[in-house]
Chains A and B, each alone.
Chain A
C-alpha cells in the first residue's frame, strides 16, 4: 500500500532529470520506456493470471458447460438438457446427505481447530525457551501427507482391530462404530483434519500476533490489564485480518475435504451407508463411478456456490465480531482521549504542562490519575 502511494512523486523526480539532457531523441526510446513503465507491471503479474485462466477460470466455465448436457463419462457429450442436472441434483437425497456430512465434518474440524490454534499461537507468543523447536514441532504434522495421516488414523479408529476400540474393549466397554456410525465417523475424520492443520494455522496466527506492537501490550500492562484481558482486547482485534484469512481458507479446505474420508474406508466412497460421504466424494462417485459427468459438474458448481456463500458468511461474521471488539476499543479510547483533553484544558489553566506530554504519548489515563475513578470504572 505505502509503496504505491509513494510512487508517483518518486517517479516524477527520477524521470524528470533524465528527460532533460536528451531533447531530440525523445520519440522512440522514450515511448518505449514509457510503455515499459506502463506495461511491464502487468507483464510481471501476467503469469499468475494466465495460469489462473488456464487452470482456474477455464475449468470453471467448462464445468458449467458440461453441467448443461447429458454427459456420460466414457461416451461423451449427449443432449443439451438445460438446468435439469441441477434440479436433479437438488432433488437427490444423497446430495443433501453429502452436504450434511460435509458441514458436520467442517464444523467439527474448523471450530476446535481454530480455537486450539489461537491458544497455541498465544502460548508460543510468550517468551519461551527454544522457541524455534516449539514452532517447528507444531508444524510437523503438516509435513506428513494426508494419505499417511489417513492410514495412521484408520488404524487408530479401526472398528474391529483399531487402537481405541482395543483399549476400550480391554476395559470392558463396547467399541465405538468409528466407521459405521455417523457421528463417530465424523469425529474420526475431523480428528485427522485437526491433527494436520492446527499447527499450520497456529503458525500463521503466531506470525500475526508477533506483529502486534509490543508497546501497546506494555502500556496496557502498565494500566493493570491482565494477560487474558490483553489477549481479548489487544491481541485478538489486532490479528483480525489474519483471522479472517485463516477462517476463510479453513472454510474452503473444510468444504472440499476428500482425501481423509476417501481413505478412511478405501473400499467404499464414504462409508457403506454414505455416513461420511462428503460432497466432493459424492461428486467423485458421480463422475467416475456412476459415470454421469453432467450431474457431477452440476454438483461441482453447487459446491462452488456453497463455498462462496460460506466464505461470505464467514467473512461478514468474523469481521463483525472483530470490529465489534475493535470499534468498542476505539470508541473507548476516544472517549478517554476526549476526557483527557478536557481535563488537560482545565489543568493547563492551572499551568501543569506535564499532563500534555503524557496525553501525546499515552492516550489512556492510567491508574496514576486518581482524580476520576468513575471514568475508569465505566470503561472496564
Chain B
C-alpha cells in the first residue's frame, strides 16, 4: 500500500470515473436529436405489411424517423407488451394490439393515450361500427384504432384437390363445401373423402380450426356480460367433440402452428386446407416462400367458410402513455389506419381492412393475388365479412385460446389420446388452474 502520490491521484480519478459511469449508466437517452427530428418507434407482430408505408410517411414528414420492430407471433407480442407495461418503460410510441388481448388491456386502459384527444372521434365513421367500439374503453376513451379485421375464408391447395379427384377451382370448391350453407360436418366429410383418396391430412392442426369454431359462436369463452362461459357450455362441447372426432380419424397434420416446419408444411402437401382469416394470408405467403414454394405450389382461396361467417382476430394501433411524443405517435397511428393506407397495407400483407371505404375499394379493384392462383383475395374477404359479428372478448380470452385449449387439442393432434372426453377434461383442468384459480 505504499503508493506514490501520483498513483493515488490517478486511482482517485479512476474511482470517481467509475462512480460517474455507474451513476449515469441508468439514465436513458431520449429518442430525438437537437435539430427537431423525432424518432417514432412502432411495434407490430406477424405480417403487418407496413414497411413501405413507413417510408412513405417519412418522406411526407421529413422531421420524423420511424424505427420499426416486428414480433413473430401475437402471443409473443402480447408478452412483450405486458412485460413493458409492467416495467413502465420500453414500449414503442405506437404499439399494435390484437383483438384477443384487448379484454385484458381494457382493465388498465389508462396506460394508453385517449386518441379522441388527437382527433380520433372525427374519423369515427371511417370504421365498421363494431371495430371502433372494440377500441373504446368503458369510459369512452378510444385506446386503439382498428387496422384490420379477420373475416375467414378457406385456403386450399388446388393441386392436391385435383390429385384427390376433387374439383379444384374456387367456385366448385365453395360449392363442394356447401356454399352459403357450408357446415363443419360437410367440411370434415369432404376431409374424409380426401383422406381416403390420398392418405394425407386435411387441415394443418386442430388449434386453428377450433379458434374459428369458437369465434363463430355468438358468445365465445365469455358471455356478453363478461362471465366465463366454458364449463357446461353444451354448444362449445359439441363443437369440440366434432373436431376431436375428425382429428382422431387422422384429418389433422399435427403441424406446429405459426412455424409449419419453417414453411415446408405448405410445400410438401402435408395438408390440403387451412382456415384463413385475412391476416393469415400474409403468414401463409411468408411461410410458403420460406419453405421454397411459390404460386405453382397450388394454394388458392375460396369464398366459403364452414359454419358461416367468422371473424378471428384483427388488430389495433395504440399509443401508450409512456410515449414521449404522443401527438406525433397518434398522428402516425391515425394515418396508418386511414382508408387509403389500409388499402396499401392489404395489398402488401393480404389482410382485410376495417374501414368501410377501404373495404369498398378492395371489392371494386378485386386485385388478383398472384400467390393464391390469382384469387381476388380482397374481394373474397369482403364477401366473407358479410354477417360477421363482433364477439365479446374477455380478459383471459387469449390465455384460454392458447394455453387451455391449445394443449388439449395438441393431445389429440399428437395422438396421445384418442378420447374427446379426456382432451376436454384436460382443457377444463387447465382452465381451472390458469384462469379460474389464478
Contacts and interface: CB of A to CB of B under 8 A. Distances in A.
A272 B86 contact: no
Interface stretch (B190-198, B342-350, B369-377, B405-413): B405-413
Contacts of A272: 406-407, 410-411, 414
B143 to A, nearest CB: 14
B403 A75 contact: no
A272 B254 CA distance: 12
Interface in A141-178: 155, 158-161, 177
Given A36-B8, A74-B82, A74-B107, A289 B261 contact: no
B399 interface: yes
B79 A288 contact: yes
Given A160-B256, A289-B403, A267 B73 contact: yes
Contact of A74 (B76, B108, B399): B108
Interface string B394-427: 0000010011001100110010100000000000
Contacts of A304: none
B263 to A, nearest CB: 10
A359 to B, nearest CB: 43
B388 interface: no
B61 interface: no
B438 interface: yes
A267 B75 contact: yes
Contact of A291 (B82, B261, B403): B82
Contact of A267 (B1, B257, B265): B257
Interface centre among A37, A159, A274, A288 (most CB of B within 10 A): A288
Most chain B CB inside 10 Å of its own CB: which residue of A51, A268, A287 = A268
A160 B15 contact: no
A74 B85 contact: yes
A292 B433 CA distance: 12
Interface residues of B, number: 45
Interface stretch (A42-50, A56-64, A313-321): A42-50
B434 interface: yes
Contacts, number: 97
A268 B399 CA distance: 11
A50 B26 CA distance: 14
Contact of B411 (A44, A158, A273, A287): A273
Contacts of A290: 399, 434, 438
B22 interface: yes
B68 interface: no
B2 A292 contact: no
B118 interface: no
A91 to B, nearest CB: 10
A90 to B, nearest CB: 14
Nearest to A291: B82
Contacts of A41: 1
Interface in B63-116: 72-73, 75-76, 78-79, 82-83, 85-86, 104, 107-108, 111
A267 B79 CA distance: 11
A86 interface: no
A37 B259 CA distance: 63
21 contacts: A7-B1, A11-B2, A14-B2, A41-B1, A47-B19, A74-B104, A159-B256, A160-B254, A160-B264, A161-B262, A180-B414, A180-B416, A267-B257, A268-B403, A268-B407, A272-B406, A272-B407, A273-B411, A290-B438, A291-B82, A293-B86
Given A11-B1, A267-B257, A273-B410, 5 more contacts: A47-B15, A75-B107, A266-B76, A273-B416, A288-B86
Interface of B: 1-2, 8, 11, 15, 18-19, 22, 72-73, 75-76, 78-79, 82-83, 85-86, 104, 107-108, 111, 254-259, 261-262, 264-265, 270, 399, 402-403, 406-407, 410-411, 414, 416, 433-434, 438
Q: A-B pairs with the 7 shortest C-beta distances?
A: A161-B261, A272-B410, A73-B86, A74-B108, A272-B407, A288-B83, A180-B414
